[in-house]
């Protein structure tokens, strides 16, 4: 009988690669948002440029991870049945698609920000500042990147709150679907 319960639980879990991509994305978004909020605390010059370079490299990594996630999800990733029906299912789908859209837009505007600023990524690469990069353009793109990052964190927090609600209030297995299996021992 225990085998059946274990098999049923295993069937309702995402595959390990999907879990890795999910938690890597979450960790990168939290790290990037925190770093973005504290960049001005770094002393001007080399320390701030190094922190900004780390932010840009991690942001580009998020872009790669999101592209891999989309490719994996659309081809090989494990699809699970919806945990909810009706409006909760629609809300969950909207949140997931919204998160993907916000990730793509935030990374895109981050790259645009680096480009219009003509920023350096460590001493490896320099974005060539375009001629149309006026102060107004730079400010608009910077604000869009910042606002999208804030909105991404808000939607991600709502996503996490929904998972916790499923776990503690609804007492279902939705959160456990994305948690790694515990090793027996």
Rounded Cα distance, 56 and 114, in Å? 8
pLDDT for 32-81, tens place per residue? 999 999 999 999 999 999 999 999 999 999 999 999 999 998 887 767 76
In order of start, what are the domains of the chain with their CATH numbers? Answer: 2-178 (1.20.950)
Q: Which residues contact 34 (CB under 8 A, 6 or more apart)?
A: none
Q: What is the pLDDT along the chain (185 residues), one digit of tens a residue?
A: 333 333 344 458 888 999 999 999 999 999 999 999 999 999 999 999 999 999 999 999 999 999 999 999 888 776 776 776 788 888 888 999 999 999 999 999 999 999 999 998 998 889 999 999 999 999 999 999 999 999 999 999 999 999 999 889 988 888 888 988 776 55
Number of H helices, E strands in the chain: 5, 2
Rounded Cα distance, 90 and 88, in Å? 5
Give pLDDT, residue 64. 98
3-state secondary structure of 121: strand
3-state secondary structure of 44: coil
Give pLDDT, residue 185. 54
* C-beta of residue 178 within 8 angstroms of C-beta of residue 163: yes
* C-beta of residue 151 within 8 angstroms of C-beta of residue 102: yes
Rounded Cα distance, 77 and 80, in Å? 10
Q: Which residues contact 88 (CB under 8 A, 6 or more apart)?
A: none
Rounded Cα distance, 162 and 177, in Å? 14
């Amino acid at each position: 009988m225990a085998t059946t319960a274990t098999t049923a639980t295993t069937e309702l879990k995402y595959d390990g690669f999907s879990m890795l991509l999910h938690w890597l994305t979450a960790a990168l978004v939290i790290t990037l948002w925190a770093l973005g909020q504290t960049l001005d605390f770094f002393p001007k010059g080399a320390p701030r440029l190094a922190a900004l370079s780390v932010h840009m490299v991690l942001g580009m990594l998020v872009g790669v991870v999101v592209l891999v996630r989309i490719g994996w999800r659309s081809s090989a990733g494990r699809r699970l049945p919806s945990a909810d029906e009706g409006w909760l299912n629609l809300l969950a789908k909207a949140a997931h698609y919204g998160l993907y859209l916000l990730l793509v837009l935030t990374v895109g505007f981050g790259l645009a920000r680096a480009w219009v600023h003509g920023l350096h990524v460590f001493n490896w690469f320099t974005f060539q500042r375009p001629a149309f990069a006026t102060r107004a353009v730079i400010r608009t793109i910077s604000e869009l990147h910042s606002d999208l990052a804030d909105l991404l964190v808000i939607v991600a927090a709502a996503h996490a709150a929904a998972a916790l609600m499923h776990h503690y209030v609804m007492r279902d297995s939705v959160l456990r679907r994305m948690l790694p299996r515990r090793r027996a021992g």
